[in-house]
């Protein structure tokens, strides 16, 4: 995965939830503040809902996929 493609997905406005895919693993990103990209853009750190973290090598990320609607998107009820 190229860092610029990862950053484009992370910084998309409005943010869209996505999944990071690696060999046999997948990590969900539900909010952009869950992710830290190191200054050299070689490592991605993802905060997990259970207070753990995943440390990922950018070169080992095979793809990203959208998860659908943003967490704050709702339809107005009338």
Whether the bond between 6 and the residue before it is cis, its omega within 30 degrees of 0, is: no
How far CA 11 is from CA of 16, 33, 54, 59, in Å, comes to 9, 10, 19, 19
Kindly list the domain boundaries of the chain, sorted by start residue.
Answer: 3-64
Please tell me the class of the 3-64 domain: mainly beta
Note the pTM of the prediction, 2 decimals.
0.83
Which pair of tokens denotes residue 71? 């967490």
**pLDDT per residue over 16-72, tens digit each?**
999 999 998 999 999 999 999 999 999 999 999 999 999 999 999 999 999 865 455
Could you read off the pLDDT of 44-53 as tens digits, one per residue? 999 999 999 9
- Assign 65 to helix, strand or coil: strand
């Amino acid at each position: 995965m190229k860092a610029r493609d990862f950053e484009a997905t992370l910084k998309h406005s409005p943010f869209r939830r996505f999944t990071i895919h690696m060999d046999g693993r997948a990590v969900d990103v539900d909010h952009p503040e869950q992710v830290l990209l190191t200054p050299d853009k070689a490592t991605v750190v993802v905060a997990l809902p259970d207070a753990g973290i995943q440390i990922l090598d950018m070169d080992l990320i095979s793809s990203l996929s959208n998860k659908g609607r943003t967490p704050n998107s709702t339809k107005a009820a009338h």
